Chain A
């Protein structure tokens, strides 16, 4: 009897039209589920050096043993493949109701190999799994495609699909579920498009079994209350994240290119609140979530969901002062299946280049690029998704485009992917986290103690001393609480990284934990995991498994050529300074590299190369990885 896990992995080979079901137990002991199984299968089975669009790339959807149960926010699916944006490890996570439905169908994981001959969709209804023809869906937007599938298969069906962005292999194309839950980063939608797979539909009626039902329910209620009582709960449960406030407090638009660095944050660019005031209908929630952070909005062009990301990138980053344009841009990106963040980065880069005469009307099909211009923004989103005209090159990614036009400094990117909008001048720890994160996923390595302390005034008094205590315990120094300090940041990044991985293996949302200043943490999840599955592990063991997963991801990237050299923010953050609250701050090259040394040392990785050492790999039970890396000459 399996508890928690559904017990089966669905393996689909689109080339051979073969479907097999594999026991989750083949992997669960080593890497539990979700992000763990993704890492292991990617490492073991994706051939080194292939293009992300080769049929040999493997696209995975993984949920955790807690997904579909009564654990807080037990809704998440972790996707992975080799990324067409970075050619490193691609990973992106989405919520909504798809992941739970996958558990109800009896699967923990879907692994997609090969490439279909013609547009297809994967149909799952309990034990019935079929590769079906999707020619009537190909070309439709994400919302249109789901509308058709609901007509065909009934309203209880849950769908994840791609829009024109994914079909046209825009490298930063996203996966979309319902009206806006999206897995945006690293181009998983493009990989799905390269496999000619339009959608995966899931409907299931099976239960998720729980080892200790009464104790588990009680523990879930306790955790539920912890989330509800968290100081950030009220804000998060109304507007997801308060981007307008962050804009003011942090001058987050450190990634904003054109503003001179004496500037103060402009209130004109605080568009999130006006947007929600005008167009928001109500809050909507992912499966089993106490927070229900998503805003259901009704724009002139139609309805959609917004949650925590995208306000900055489609608002202040592209100097867009208009709430209606923000909402329409949001909806368009979701509907066309493009990563909101990378799309914002692309538009910002193009405007920056145009302003500084790196490109001109000759390069933009005669289109004038003006910061914050509504028509330009909405037209460009569609052109990018359809790879039309000059936007075709943008479809290959901002780094490639920048190289083509000799404007490499304008592509604000690290390891091939646009820098997540952040004030890297001031936030030393986030600069480190962004640089070393798997796949360039900055948000996964946002050091808790630095990030939360930037809202020092918002932290309740009775929370402050505990916060500092936790910081000292985790990092050894109170300095880790200071935004602009370099000390203690390596440990802070590692702390958040591992907590994040635990959530991604459990199949739960980080808003109930990591980003809420640890409303819940690995100790809570270990307890829930034990009661749900009947397996008994300790919190240190859970964190060790998380570290193992991290090292497997690292080894994958090392095999693909990752070096220490790649892991740094663009030089702009070292050479200029920023205005706003942290006026005058910038990154110090030597101190930054020292932080990296400290991080690698802490991780048990070689300080010079950033490659896990043989000793560390052996400690984590990854001898076979050590052997591989030795054969490749990556480890002496």
Chain B
């Protein structure tokens, strides 16, 4: 089953707990620079965008990696970098369309989200459900539901809410 992180930037409050717990779980320290997910914040306009690896089916990072440190698991869809094989060349950092990998100078290698091997810790802490772990084929439904929400609220008001919950 291929799952993915469904990210809803409209729900993100910019608290960055995902950064802290990711780095703590995966690098045993708290640091945004060792986190495999980052929140790009614009405090003046109140906008927050979580950016992390989206586990492409045809990962450019995998193609470019000179030591074949990057692999993709066919069953889970998880793309990961093997720490031992990585030489820290940073080619993956440069070619990724969204800048997901991050080179960590202190370690001399590049980190990337590996979905915590199927149990992502960022999801556990995200109070606003801005990050959810969902079956990849249903990710669009999540987005469509968010997009339709306002219209649904309006329609519900017009028609009257159901009584089935009572």
Which A residues are closer than 8 A to B by beta carbons?
68-70, 74, 97, 104, 143, 147, 155, 178-179, 205-210, 213-214, 216-217, 220-221, 224, 228, 237, 281-292, 296, 303
Contacts and interface: CB of A to CB of B under 8 A. Distances in A.
> Nearest 6 A-B pairs (CB), nearest first?
A285-B15, A207-B31, A207-B29, A292-B13, A296-B46, A285-B13
Contacts of A286: 15
Given A210-B29, A228-B127, A285-B15, A178 B23 contact: no
Interface residues of B, number: 32
A555 to B, nearest CB: 35
A217 B127 contact: no
Contacts of B30: 68-70, 207-208, 210
B128 to A, nearest CB: 7
B27 A287 contact: no
Contacts of B127: 224, 228, 237, 290-292
A435 B17 CA distance: 38
B44 A179 contact: yes
A203 B84 CA distance: 30
Nearest to A179: B43
Given A210-B28, A210-B30, A213-B29, A70 B125 contact: yes
A71 to B, nearest CB: 9
B25 interface: yes
Nearest to A233: B127
Given A70-B20, A220-B21, A287-B15, A206 B46 contact: no
Interface in B22-58: 23-25, 27-34, 41-46, 48
Given A207-B29, A210-B29, A210-B30, A290 B43 contact: no
A113 to B, nearest CB: 30
B42 A155 contact: yes
Interface in B115-148: 121, 124-125, 127-128
Contacts of B29: 207-210, 213
Given A70-B20, A155-B42, A213-B28, A285 B33 contact: no
A292 B15 contact: yes
A301 B30 CA distance: 38
Contacts of B24: 69-70, 210, 213, 216-217
A288 B16 contact: yes
A217 B31 contact: no
A217 B18 CA distance: 12
A283 B46 CA distance: 9
A155 B24 CA distance: 24
A106 to B, nearest CB: 11
